[in-house]
Amino acid sequence: MSPAFQARLTIPADLRALSLAQAFAREAAALAQLTGDNGERLVLAAEEAFTNAVEHAFEPGETGTLELAAEISDAELVLSLRDRGLPFDESLAPDYRPLGGVATADASTQGLGLHLIRNAVDEVTWVNHGIQGKELRLVKRLSRPDITETEAAGSLTPFREDVPQAPEQNYTIRPFLPGDAIQISRCAYRTYGFTYEKEDLYFPERLVRLHESRELLSIVALDEAGQLAGYVALSRPGLGEIAEACQAIVAPAHRGRSLLGSMSLRLAREAAEAGLKGIYSEPATTHVFSQRPLEHMGFVFCGVTLGCIPRTRFYKQIQTEAASERKSLLLYFRYLTPPAPAVLRAPEHHRGFLERIYAGLGAPVAFASGEAATPGPGKVDVTFSRAKGTGKISVKRTGPGSAVEIRRAARDLSDLAGAEAITLELPLTDPRCPELCLAAEKEGFFFGGVGPLFDAGRDVLRLQRLHTDLEMEHLQAFSPLAKEVLAYVASERKRVGPAS
């Protein structure tokens, strides 16, 4: 398995260097085997971003440099443009062209147009690096052979749901080894077809690479013949302190043997030994059978993300039947190490339900107000997923202009990108959290719960905004706490009202 390919190019912020930026993007696309329109659209996006940065990031006559970076892995190509030019100036916004711009606390996103977002790439992220400048990241998913293209059809015959139970036997529960990848992909396809949400399961090489980088941590169960009977995994993008319980399979012939519980317990031990402080999981709200085992394993409900799953999922030439509305996910969390006492800031009207959630989590928290906010510029990250039609705004550090930036980012995600659901995360330990929450509610954001340790070890208040119809009555929840909080979310959604 080859490591990710990385390259950087520093060039003058001068339109005469445009051909160099185009050539860099074109060669990166070629190395990633992006051909035809896919490659050319990426080059066009890079061209527009470069031109915008040259024309708006620096004063007339000022010299500066721009850094282009490309990272190519088995799964994606990430192309980024970074500058250390002018901070945001309101007068620049009307002049921005479509397809350019950087949306942070220091820069307008107004120029990022529909063509780049909807046609060129799969993910768009704007990042403010403070005094180190600002960055626009473009992510293009790469098409690679899946299990159906590398395996004989006979090895992929779907499992029968009424298959007889395997004989009673002893199972081997152990960490993932590279040779397990092909069995995992076969089992995923034979069990779920192409309906499993985490599509990494269908790509054996991708599974190996993700384990090598420690972005996946997993446990397998093997029967006495050495064949895969089950698999569970944690995802650690960015290798932070928390991980998502993201993949779980038990072959039908081996169900009812408590394999899921045995594998999950072993995985939790492995995660704790790896230094993780917590695990979260996001089961669907369309049924409760995926929620029950989480609660039995010590996970506690702490939030909901409404409308985050598209009505229709596509996988190559396979299209599932469109649902009547977008689907939602619940958020469950489990601490692996006892949480330290924390002082949080939140609006008065949410504190009652936050106390209920934290009591369920067993986290010692106290709420305070009145502390002066830390001076200095803010930092806001904005992400758009074209595949899911969703946006995310993460306030990493608050500043005097954070409320304005949240409003601008939400407008661009909905009006320019066409996001149907937007999530907003505010740092609960920051003194400005209450005022930013109130300002966001005026923009149509409503309560969605908490994310323990979600921001580099800090808890976040999760708000959300919808630009689509969604009936709360369709959501199913297992635990009394989940039902109670969902009712509160529904009432808050009604109180806040639709986005303007």
pLDDT digits (tens, 9 = 90+) for 333-371: 999 999 999 999 999 999 999 999 999 999 999 998 767
Q: d(Cα 29, Cα 36) in Å, to the nearest integer?
A: 10
* Residue 395 clears pLDDT 80, i.e. is over it: yes
Q: Which of 145-154, 190-199, 467-476 has the lowest mean pLDDT?
A: 145-154
* Residue 192 clears pLDDT 70, i.e. is over it: yes
Q: Which of 189-193, 313-317, 341-345, 449-453 has the lowest mean pLDDT?
A: 313-317
Does an H or E element contain 349, and which?
A: helix 348-361
Cβ neighbours of residue 220 under 8 Å, at least 6 residues apart?
A: 173, 174, 175, 176, 177, 180, 184, 228, 230, 231, 263
* Residue 196 clears pLDDT 70, i.e. is over it: yes
Mean pLDDT computed over 221-234: 96
Q: Domain coordinates of the chain in residue numbers?
A: 1-143, 145-276, 278-500
Q: d(Cα 207, Cα 202) in Å, to the nearest integer?
A: 8
Q: d(Cα 347, Cα 436) in Å, to the nearest integer?
A: 9
Provide the pLDDT for residue 314.
45
Q: d(Cα 433, Cα 354) in Å, to the nearest integer?
A: 14
Most confident range (mean pLDDT) of 66-70, 245-249, 324-328, 369-373 is 66-70
* Residue 113 clears pLDDT 50, i.e. is over it: no
Provide the pLDDT for residue 393.
94
CA-based Rg of the chain, rounded to a whole angstrom? 23
Cβ neighbours of residue 208 under 8 Å, at least 6 residues apart?
A: 1, 178, 181
Q: 145-276 has which CATH code?
A: 3.40.630.30
Under CATH, which architecture does the 1-143 domain have?
2-Layer Sandwich (3.30)
Provide the pLDDT for residue 38.
84
pLDDT digits (tens, 9 = 90+) for 265-293: 999 999 999 999 999 999 888 877 778 88
Q: Which of 99-108, 177-186, 193-202, 277-286 has the lowest mean pLDDT?
A: 99-108
Q: Where are the alpha helices (DSSP H) in 57-199?
A: 114, 147-150, 181-192
Mean pLDDT computed over 154-166: 78
The tokens for 134 are 């600002």
Provide the pLDDT for residue 321.
54
Q: Which of 51-60, 113-122, 130-139, 385-394 has the lowest mean pLDDT?
A: 113-122
Look up the pTM and report it.
0.82
* Residue 405 clears pLDDT 50, i.e. is over it: yes
User: pLDDT tier at 160 (50, 70, 90 boundaries)?
Assistant: confident
Mean pLDDT for all residues in the chain: 85
* Residue 87 clears pLDDT 60, i.e. is over it: no
Q: At what angle do helices 36-56 and 18-31 cross, to 10 degrees?
A: 150
